[in-house]
Structure 1
Amino acid sequence: MGDFWVFGYGSLIWRPGFAHVETQRARLHGYRRSLCVYSFVHRGTRERPGLVLGLDRGGSCIGLAFRVPGELRDEVIAYLRERELVTNVYLERWVKVALEDGRVADAVTYVADRGHEQYAGALGEAEAAAVVRGAVGQSGVNEDYVLNTIQHLEALGIRDRWLEEVARRIVPVENASGPLNPAR
């Protein structure tokens, strides 16, 4: 089997965790990045859920595509499934992504399952911030997850105004630095 691509839109951008030989910015049409998944494990608990990103229907999403050597297919897919399918709130999908260099590639990614109990739907910025604020799970503090994502998106020149507004609402401006500080 030949090389394949993995499309990352959230924590895979800043912590892919698998071997790859090429990384490119990529756009996925038909889905948008959204804090639409209640986290019962990584960034919250069942008693105090957090929110994590999912790909939800509509719009488009700019993220990173990672090219993985074909001989690592089974290993990387197994890793991704263990990481992303902990509670089966995501659906594994093969999608077409437009790479920055003009190529179109088939990539595996994980989209939110709208029928799953953890699907939060389209929350407003204030509501999302209220869920994120104070939530902690096995992988750490929910605010850190959102802020890490924003910082890495900014470093790549990717704007996500909705997510940036959520971040502004979870971190007071006087304590913010980097992308959340409007005075910079």
Structure 2
Amino acid sequence: MPKIRRMSLTQELVDLCFRDETDPGPPPSWQPMTEEDYASLTDRLTQEVGDGPLWIFAYGSLIWKPGFDSIASRRATAFGWHRSFSLRIERGRGSPTQPGLMMVLSRGGRCDGVIYRVAGNEKRMQIEKALRREVSNRDSLTSMRWLPVRTEEGDTVRALTFWVGGNSQRLIRPLLPLHDVAPVLARACGHRGSCAEYLYNTVVHLAEFGIYDRNLWRLQELVAEEIKALHAQTPIREHA
């Protein structure tokens, strides 16, 4: 059994980050996807899969809230990529007055995640569901690709992956150091919840698959410190 690590970022600290926020709607600069766009993109990806299996690689929220249906899951590793909080958001888990940061895959290192297999007779349906969850505007299109990922058994499969590379105007380059990311995650909240909650859920659900991401672990420690400093006068309930 792997050693159980005790997180610094607790549910009680995450709860302190929540506040009611209204949905500001999409930024004026966005070019929203149309129904025709979704249909065309779904057709293209379905053709690219062909008769082979459809795997979708999850490294963040797709692990704990996929938005599509699957029939199997396996641990897998994408080499040459790593998780980074480098996508600026002003909606969802951030706001125009307090923008947040979401995870993407950036060049370098490795990323241990989970691949989900879609039923063979549902490939088109599940591709469209995944697209509607992950691709809301044309700005997102360049960040979607097929990645070769290696499973624990040693075989390599091709998996559809979202927010990997790309040239979105919302991507922050060069990458921010963890000490600069932590204050943002401790403060940002939108109508769908806080960035601290997003980090917490990701670390917790990765652990369920036995995955330990060193950078995320250090980041949750830094975010916990930030939240405690921000709410120094607020009593914090500890775990039993």
TM range (shorter): 0.7 to 0.9
Residue in 2 that maps onto 1:18? 68
Residue in 1 that maps onto 2:170? 118
Structure 2 unaligned regions, length at least 5: 1-50, 229-235
The CA distance in 1 between the partners of 2:66 and 2:118, in whole Å, is 11
2:224 counterpart (171, 176, 183): 171
Is 1:85 matched up with 2:138? no
Shift of 1:113: 4.4
Residue in 1 that maps onto 2:55? 5
Moved more, 89-98 or 108-117: 108-117
Distance 1:177 1:120, change over 3 A: farther
Opposite residue 85 of structure 1, the aligned amino acid is: V
Give the structure-1-normalised TM-score: 0.86
Distance 1:53 1:107, change over 3 A: same
Matched position secondary structure for 1:101 = coil
Higher radius of gyration, 1 or 2: 2
**Is the Cα–Cα contact under 8 Å of residues 143 and 168 in structure 2 kept in the other structure?**
no
Deviations 1:75-124 (A, max 9, x none): 21112211112243461101111112222111100134453221123111
- Runs of at least 4 residues of structure 1 off by over 4 A? 173-178
How many residues end up aligned between the 2 structures? 178
Structure with bigger strand share is: 1
Distance 1:137 1:29, change over 3 A: same
Shift of 1:31: 1.0
Residue in 1 that maps onto 2:13? none
Identical-residue share of aligned pairs (%): 32
2:152 counterpart (96, 100, 111): 100
Distance 1:2 1:164, change over 3 A: same
Is 1:140 matched up with 2:193? yes
Is 1:109 matched up with 2:161? yes
The CA distance in 2 between the partners of 1:154 and 1:114, in whole Å, is 28
Is 1:48 matched up with 2:98? yes
**Is the Cα–Cα contact under 8 Å of residues 107 and 165 in structure 2 kept in the other structure?**
no
Matched position secondary structure for 1:20 = coil
Q: CA RMSD in A?
A: 2.2
The CA distance in 1 between the partners of 2:135 and 2:237, in whole Å, is 33
Distance 1:143 1:99, change over 3 A: same
